[in-house]
Amino acid sequence: MMPDSLSKLIKKRALAPILRRLVIDLETSIIIEDDEGKLLIATDGAERLIQHPVTVAGQVIGSVYGNEKVAPIASLLTSLAESEAEKRALVSETLNKYKEITLLYDMVEKVSSCLDTKEVARLVIEEARRVITLSSVSVLLLNKETDALELIGGYDHETEAVTSVSRGVGIAGSVLVSGRAEIINDVHSDPRFVEGAVSISSLMCAPLKAKDNIAGVIELGNDQPVTYTAEDLKLFTTLASLAAVAIENAGLYEQLKDAFYTTVYTLAETIEKRDPYTGNHTKRVMEYSLAIGKTLGLSKEEMARLQLGAVLHDIGKIGIRDNVLLKESALTDDEFDQIKKHPVYGEEIIRNLSQLKSAIPGVKHHHEKFNGKGYPDGLKGEEIDITARIIAVADSFDAMTTNRPYRSGLTLEVAFDELRKYSGSQFDPEIVEAFFASDVMEAFFTANSRLKIIL
């Protein structure tokens, strides 16, 4: 830290009148200059007989000229300057501690409730930008299969920025191996430095280490030549270890979530297998539904509800007897009434499973019609949950285009016409439009180039 200049010290401590008084008492005269030779104080008749330097931590910040009587004045200024420097160092240390504590508190608050690795990376980047001078940050996670670091979040990165780093390559790759945080204040003189899309002059790199496991690396840099200090590194390392714990937790949660979806999906598939002609119906309904949800811009929470609802929409068919469910000829009214019970059976099955409850609207109401003429409750328009309105379109479209034992599936063109025809009566028109605008259409276009003209 640079000490205060002599001129600032004299002003801050209002020393000028005291110094003048001292000179009178000592019956002498003085000239005081700063380290650049700028005159700060001069009394009548002063001569540059002897130079008495004023120093702080060995650094000359000015000089007092006069006879030997003025030596105590130089000593007084030196000791005042030193006490001022100590005070500043203490303030700066306290400030750093305060920053560190605030950072810890904020981070713990935010990341402990965060169960998504990318979101953790985003929060860490936000915090780093708040407390450390930087122009770019990268959060890189170790992909255990490829043994390379992959970028999961970054700030101020060009699109072509490095997104994958092998173990031992570059500074990030070497920190992954050593597990030790580093400051590099002149990156261009470091032989490990690999020039990337982002221009960097100084950087700090820390491992994302929770217990003894290194999950990745976080690197931040500045395009201006700044000098990162040991204090900066301490703060950065604290941030990295908090991030590592949060990323580990989020990773475990993601694994758990995947296992949960796989179990639910297997359950739905087992039921689907009773009817061998439906082959992959559940999977397609889920894909179409999610594509529609994405086009409509549903929230994360609604998308999760939609996915579960789509996977489980026909789970109630487990309660329908084989001779009805698998009947190859037309159904009697009574048999059709039995089939119509499957949404309610589905609701009864999942009602007591807390993790599946959010799927209830999709499961119970996927056969409601927009005009109120569906089943089981005859709900109308927006009384029908959005997930159920989406699943209705996805389910009907897939049913129309799939071959059944008693009829061939409709062509895509005819199925699209049907959706349009029943848009507003059976289906919510906004959802039909969202389906036509969704990513799924790309795949249909690729498979059938005539479709583009029809739509």
Taking the CB of residue 112, how many other CB atoms lie within 10 A of it? 12
Of 52 and 365, CB closest to Fe ion? 365
User: Tokens for 109?
Assistant: 């608050």
Phi, psi of 89 (to 5 degrees): -65, -40
Pick the binder of Fe ion from 314, 347, 368, 428 (CB under 5 A): 314
Whole-number Å distance between alpha carbons of 426 and 419: 9
Closer to Fe ion by Cβ: residue 314 or 428: 314
State yes or no: residue 248 binds Fe ion (CB under 5 A): no
At residue 398's C-alpha, the angle toward residues 396 and 404, to 5°, is 100
Q: How far is the CB of 400 from Fe ion (least distance, A)?
A: 13
> Least distance (Å) from Fe ion to the CB of residue 123?
41
What's the 3-state SS for 251-310?
HHHHHHHHHHHHHHHHHHHHHHCCCHHHCCHHHHHHHHHHHHHHHHCCCHHHHHHHHHHH
Site string for Fe ion, 255-294 (x = CB under 5 A): ----------------------------------------
Query: 4 vs 314, which CB is nearer to Fe ion?
Result: 314
Distance (Å, whole) CA 239 – CA 94: 18
Distance of closest approach, residue 244 Cβ to Fe ion, in angstroms: 46
From the list 60-68, 97-105, 122-130, 310-318, the region that binds Fe ion by CB under 5 A is 310-318
Nearest-angstrom CA–CA distance, 335 and 326? 11
Residue number with CB closer to Fe ion (272 or 314): 314
Q: Does 34 bind Fe ion (CB under 5 A)?
A: no
Whichever of 170 and 309 has its CB closer to Fe ion, that residue is 309
Does 4 participate in binding Fe ion (rule CB under 5 A)? no
Minimum CB separation of residue 205 from Fe ion in Å reads 54
CA–CA separation, 142 and 216 (whole Å): 5
The CA distance from 353 to 455, in Å, is: 42
Beta carbon of residue 147, minimum distance to Fe ion (angstroms, whole number): 46
Stretch that binds Fe ion, among 32-40, 241-249, 309-317, 408-416 (CB under 5 A): 309-317
From the list 48-56, 62-70, 307-315, 423-431, the region that binds Fe ion by CB under 5 A is: 307-315
Helix axes 412-421, 386-401, angle to 10 degrees: 140
Residue 197's SS3 state is coil
State in angstroms the smallest separation of the CB of 366 from Fe ion.
6
- Does residue 347 interact with Fe ion by CB under 5 A? no
With CB atoms as reference, the residue minimizing the distance to Fe ion is 314
Burial class (CB in 10 A: 0-12, 13-18, 19+), 81: buried
CA distance 415 to 428: 16
Question: Interface with Fe ion by CB under 5 A: which range of 30-38, 201-209, 312-320, 401-409?
Answer: 312-320
Would you tell me which residues interact with Fe ion (CB under 5 A)? Answer: 314
